[in-house]
A and B are shown apart, each in its own frame.
Chain A
């Protein structure tokens, strides 16, 4: 039998490239550097909310919280009379080691969160309660029941636990150099937290090296939470110092984070020395941690509030046989880890898993095998078959640690209330997880219930965002109104709290008040096509939240809608200065540059967006457009081909392909493919009359009507232009003539073909119309600059829209020529529209109406 290649998974909670990369450049993380050189690496996207027990369970199962069942940090005791840390018995699906168990693999799992009580797997499991010291140094430090499987190994595992009080000055000084001269510093709460975290990390590492060396294994998973803890304790003191940070604290604790990372690199070096070259190593984090100007100064005073310090991208490194070497990959998610490792092990991937196989990591990828679900595969998975009781003291201590870190509130006396709160909070996290997975309806049901029950503002905020995403604007407005009432009361409470703690820089909400309500109101107005109302609200929020990327991209979106490309670009650049890998900003910048004719720059930006997120068809679509305009026709064709592979129904891309394969690089077979697609999917043709606002379109439409062309009913248009872009309305007007102001051309859906007649009228005539419409009292020979620039912009919009349409039939009718030579002009229109026009009737109309 062929020897199985081993797999080693190392979890570093909250590890972030933004800290690691400079350390590697300075030669301070040599072990990670060498691992990266012999494998593939990249960012890994977290899920929302970025809470570790949920995320590490998603990493181990490939599914989100509602499916795997771990919905937060704590869960009610089975009797409902209190809380305990989340347990393995709450996990509803198989973890990867359970699947391997069924396949006869031996696994060692150390400190995974959650892993208590340890599962009866074929191998060893050491639970996440293992390292938690619940007694003073020197007292009997019992191993809680369920910490180690198999139970008989418990006694021998005890010796590898390091008590925080064992940490010596020599071990602590690399973290806090000031301890060498200031013994008093050792009594500081922050120092004690650092020492406890270091002791825990050392315990987990010692347990894992022992198991690696002494116990046979095919799969090994070790989870370290220490980087997350070091960062929550001391990232605020990480250089550079911000003015709000007390100087003395900065001096004492600015080295904690770097020392934490370097210690992990030292542990990694040891771990890697214990495996052979045929072992696949995966090193990853579940989320990142803001280390730069994005570090929040305001930590919300709510459960899981410290998670605002988490950033959306963690690290992912994979190395081993068959893995590409020294390459950077993109598009990884925490959900992809289990599917990828199953594939790498030659096992089938569950179709019910929400992640994908990261084929791009492999030198010679082949198609993965799939089964409907591993849950249906019988066999000994090594999961618990009944709920085990755990040591209440150990659980209590672990809870206390979560309280100290600020992840959960201190426990109330009223246990039942506490359990109720916990259930609601977990439901809130699961709802957020669902929203992140695009399952809004189920999330809305949960959020409506818990917001109704509790009036907790953040539940309402999330509900409002969910309504916005589902275009349920009236419901969103209702929630917003209710939140405004609650907020007024909340402000009174915050004011009182502030008065009670006037010197706490992290309790000062004025420093970075999120202004959520204004944010939601701004986004609601934006969604309801009221950019004038939305813009000032969002700009106000931006003043208070200068580092909010989404805000910058939302404001940019308004400027893009209004074709204010300069202003849009400023906002996109602002977003990129916060995170230079922001795909929305690279994409937006690319489209803006495309629309303003800077094609090479547009290509650069769009390629950067694609590098981060390959599977967005619109990125490829606009890249195709930019390449086409830059004269790179073959590459443009490739971009549109990728686009239709990702989104086969993207009509616009097929239209481009028809144009390219019919007119530029002749390929009848490929052209025919897209032609056939369009034949089957284009609903019909509509004749569009357009022009800048103020042109005599109504007279022109009457003229066409007199010529016996059918005109679309448009009485509702004036009040509600958006109605004209609905598929229903357009389907009812196939073959008819419709006026669309140039401002709205971009809204026309691609499932129809359009023939566009552009009405070109003298500028002076349009100006006069505009002035009288606006009731402007200016001398007849004066041209108001604002109106002129608006007209220029509208013309620009028409030009850019036309440039963005492949093969767009277009006819310009000059107003003056129309009346000078009506017969010829009508013949042109007749030929263009393929409709026979009644020229004589048109002439009668003109003579009786002019």
Chain B
């Protein structure tokens, strides 16, 4: 495609319009963010 997209957890219509690739990438980011938040929560609880 030659285009660069910055993918956020919020996603975008542009990502949906990319079809399966956009959907996969967005969900990866969502999963990553969730994981990060869970880790942060865990870390906060430890403190």
Contacts and interface: CB of A to CB of B under 8 A. Distances in A.
- Most chain-B Cβ atoms within 10 A of its Cβ — which of A168, A208, A263, A266? A168
A270 interface: yes
A35 to B, nearest CB: 16
A207 interface: yes
Contact of B12 (A170, A206, A213, A270): A170
Contacts of B14: 266
A273 B23 contact: no
A210 interface: yes
Given A162-B23, A206-B23, A270 B17 contact: yes
A209 B20 contact: yes
A169 B19 contact: no
B44 interface: no
Contact of B11 (A170, A206, A207): A170
A620 to B, nearest CB: 46
B23 A160 contact: yes
Contact of A208 (B16, B19, B22): B19
Nearest to A267: B17
A263 B13 CA distance: 7
Interface string A257-288: 00000010011011101000000000000000
B19 A210 contact: yes
A168 B18 contact: no
Interface residues of A, number: 24
A839 interface: no
A162 B16 contact: yes
B13 A205 contact: no
A342 to B, nearest CB: 29
A269 B19 CA distance: 11
Contacts, number: 55
A263 B22 CA distance: 14
A268 to B, nearest CB: 9
A209 B12 contact: no
Interface string A199-224: 00010011111100100000000000
A210 B16 contact: no
Nearest to B9: A168
Contacts of B8: 170
A208 B18 CA distance: 11
B13 A174 contact: yes
A273 B12 contact: no
Interface string A510-551: 000000000000000000000000000000000000000000
A171 B19 contact: no
A273 B1 contact: yes
B14, B17, B23 — most chain A CB neighbours (10 Å): B17
B11 A202 contact: no
Contact of B20 (A169, A206, A269, A273): A206
A199 to B, nearest CB: 9
Interface range on chain B (Cβ under 8 Å from partner): 10 to 19
Contacts of B23: 159-160, 162, 202, 206
B21 interface: yes
B13 A207 contact: no
A208 B22 CA distance: 13
Interface in A162-206: 162, 168-171, 174, 198, 202, 205-206
A171 B17 contact: no
A283 to B, nearest CB: 16
Contact of A209 (B9, B11, B21): B21
B17 A169 contact: no
Contacts of A271: 19
A160 B13 CA distance: 15
B11 A205 contact: no
A169 B20 CA distance: 20
A160 to B, nearest CB: 5
Contacts of B19: 205-206, 208-210, 267, 270-271
Interface in B1-35: 1, 8-14, 16-24
Contacts of A171: 10-13, 16
Given A168-B10, A170-B11, A273-B1, A263 B17 contact: yes
A281 to B, nearest CB: 16
A34 to B, nearest CB: 16
A206 B11 CA distance: 15
B11 A168 contact: yes
B20 A266 contact: no
A270 B13 contact: no
Contacts of B9: 168
Contacts of A270: 17-19
B6 to A, nearest CB: 12
A207 B20 contact: yes
A207 B11 CA distance: 18
A263 B19 CA distance: 12
Most buried by A among B10, B12, B13, B23: B13
A202 B15 CA distance: 10
A266 B1 contact: no
A269 B17 CA distance: 8
Contacts of A210: 19-20
Contacts of A263: 13, 16-17
B14 to A, nearest CB: 7
A160 B20 contact: yes
Contacts of A207: 20
Contacts of A205: 16-17, 19
A491 B33 CA distance: 60
| Most chain A CB within a 10 A radius of its CB, from B10, B14, B22, B23 | B23
Contacts of A170: 8, 10-13
Contacts of A174: 13
Contacts of B18: 209, 270
Nearest to A171: B13
A206 B25 CA distance: 12
B1 to A, nearest CB: 7
B17 to A, nearest CB: 4
Nearest to A202: B16
A273 B13 CA distance: 17
B39 to A, nearest CB: 21
A624 B11 CA distance: 61
A669 to B, nearest CB: 62
A171 B8 CA distance: 12
Nearest to A204: B19
Nearest to A271: B19
Contacts of A267: 17, 19
Nearest to B1: A273
Contacts of A266: 13-14, 17
B16 A169 contact: no
A198 B16 CA distance: 9
Nearest to A172: B13
B7 to A, nearest CB: 11
A403 B43 CA distance: 49
A170 B26 CA distance: 13
A267 B23 CA distance: 13
B40 to A, nearest CB: 21
Nearest to B17: A266
A202 B20 CA distance: 9
A-B CB proximity, top 10 nearest: A209-B19, A266-B17, A170-B10, A210-B20, A202-B16, A206-B20, A168-B10, A206-B23, A206-B19, A209-B20
Given A168-B11, A170-B8, 10 more contacts: A162-B23, A169-B10, A170-B12, A171-B12, A205-B16, A206-B19, A263-B17, A266-B14, A266-B17, A267-B19
13 contacts: A168-B10, A170-B12, A170-B13, A171-B12, A174-B13, A205-B19, A207-B20, A209-B18, A209-B21, A266-B17, A270-B19, A271-B19, A273-B1
